[in-house]
Structure 1
Amino acid sequence: MAGSGSSEVRTPIFSGENYEFWRIKMVTIFKSLGLWSLIEKGIPTPDSKKKKKAEESSEEEADAEMIVVLMKDAKALGIIQNVVSD
């Protein structure tokens, strides 16, 4: 089948109309890309449990995890910016 295996997602452009329908589509897209939690909750901030865990793990591991989160954040922002009309 042509196109199967492609990771490209067709995102609907929001032009100011039919917001609820557009929103439902966007939530589905973000969930399918594993980005919805980041959209809904934002970049996680360390609480006391996470701080304790971070102290036990190496600083490099904590940095690598933060880089992954920041990359997901940038991906989500890029998608949002591309789906809103001028």
Structure 2
Amino acid sequence: MARSGSSEARIPMFSGENYEFWRIKMVTIFRSYGLWGLVEKGFLIPDSQTKKESEDGSKEEIDEKTTAILMKDAKALGIIQNAVSDQIFSQNCKC
């Protein structure tokens, strides 16, 4: 029988215990979203892709490919932030 409802994966909450089990589940979730490579390796935006000033003094926007990467990075970060308890998050937050 097909499951009805959202196709979104349920994100497991990390409370400070059973890290290895949580990590394995998170890797699987990131792979299912196509985000694991980004989480594992990160990314660098080449200087040529950052905002630059053109000859007429206006700023050019970051290209679509870089924007897509930045959006994936934000999605991955949001998943991680929502997957840790407030206590764990506040201990490691550089807010």
TM-score range, shorter chain: 0.7 to 0.9
After TM superposition, give the deviation of residue 45 of structure 1 in Å. Answer: 4.3
Structure 2 unaligned segments of length 5 or more: list them. Answer: 49-59, 87-95
Correspondence for 2:10: 10
Aligned equivalents of 1:65, 1:21: Cα separation in 2: 34
Aligned equivalents of 2:4, 2:74: Cα separation in 1: 26
Q: CA RMSD in A?
A: 2.2
Higher-strand-fraction structure: 2
- 1:15 maps to a residue whose letter is S
After TM superposition, give the deviation of residue 9 of structure 1 in Å. Answer: 1.1
Count, aligned residues: 74
- 2:32 maps to a residue whose letter is S
Please, what TM-score do these two structures have when normalized by structure 1? Answer: 0.74
Greater relative contact order: 1 or 2 (C-alpha under 8 angstroms, separation 6 or more)?
1
1:1-86, aligned counterparts within 5 Å? Answer: 1-3=2-4, 6-46=6-46, 63-86=63-86
Q: Is the 8 A contact 2:35 2:72 kept in 1?
A: yes
Structure 1 unaligned segments of length 5 or more: list them. Answer: 52-58
Please, what TM-score do these two structures have when normalized by structure 2? Answer: 0.68
- 1:67 maps to a residue whose letter is T
Higher-helix-fraction structure: 1
